[in-house]
Amino acid sequence: MGRSKSENAGYGWRVVVPATSANLGCAFDCGGLALKLYLRALFIPSGNGELSLEYQGKTPERFPMKSSNLVLHALRFAAEKLNVTPPSGHVLVQSDIPISVGLGSSAAAVIAGLLLGAQYSRKEAHPEQILRWAEEIEGHIDNAAAAYHGGMVLALSNNVDRVVTLKTDFPESIRLVVVTPSIVVPTHEARQVLPKAYERADVLHTLQRTSLLAATCFSGKFDLFPELFEDKLHQPYRQNLVPGMERCLGLRRPGLLGVAISGSGSSVIAFVTRDELKIAEELQKIFADEGVQTEALFTSADNNGAGVTREQVPLIERLGAVLQKLEKS
């Protein structure tokens, strides 16, 4: 399927995708929550045959600028799946999401690229199809499902013919405190520390909490408490990768509903109803006592998920103005 150079002259597609925190303690590899931190990407097509990339945002030293970049890869992936000409043009990315610290930066990049690729193709791509492609690219979809749908999402995809997701809005009255250590824990390293098999008692321990977490959230009660986030499948092993993390998970204070490792780490996420500044300070002090520097972010749940729009943009020669507009929006 060919595309005329003049068809998209002066137009592009802009996508906004939220950060996510997967696992939520006990919901290992099946649950995620979207956060009000965002990756924004603007794709300006052209007929030059090249696909270039520009980035401004958190941890730029960790953002790959090669053709293997996940935004570009997913954009090309969707175009190929939808049987259209390989995309060319310029992609501008601006992101509030720190990279490689358990806040779903990879999933956000994949969802952004897939949505841009679907728009470029001018063909309909259903949510289940987008998430199946995300699974093919990343291998799991707990982050991707939450990034796409927003809110709290439980997902089923392994060993089934279709992707099944269920979403509930998460109350913004529950504040989210994210404390990110300077230590980076690559996902593959966090996977390697997990055991090959588990004791029945540990599985039962976690299943009970996962079921109750889902029940209270989807019932609308959101009766969260610290013991609900305790798990025996991944956190006991991953907490040893960052000094101080074990003590963070055990923190108990009035107004603190619970603390969990965000994704596979290294960030921890606290669910808070009051005194969020004091709780953040306590979490940061725990890490500081171990000589680990941290950054604290204060946010809440994003219940809207990813969105993409078509908009008029200046010519390629004026991309600096476009980037400035992207940063301010």
Higher pLDDT pick, 188 / 13: 13
pLDDT tens figures, 15-65: 999 999 999 999 999 999 999 999 999 999 987 778 999 998 888 888 888
> CB 269: neighbour CB atoms within 10 A?
28
| Mean pLDDT (the chain, rounded) | 91
CB 95 within 8 A of CB 40: yes
Sign of CA dihedral 173, 223, 34, 167: negative
- What is the model's pLDDT at position 177? 98
Residues 6+ apart with CB under 8 A from 171: 222, 301
Task: Count Cβ atoms within 10 A of the Cβ of residue 129 and give its class: 0-12 exposed, 13-18 middle, 19 or more buried.
Answer: middle
- What is the model's pLDDT at position 324? 46
pLDDT tens figures, 107-160: 999 999 999 999 999 998 999 999 999 999 988 799 999 999 999 999 998 777
Q: H helices then E strands: how many in the chain?
A: 10, 11
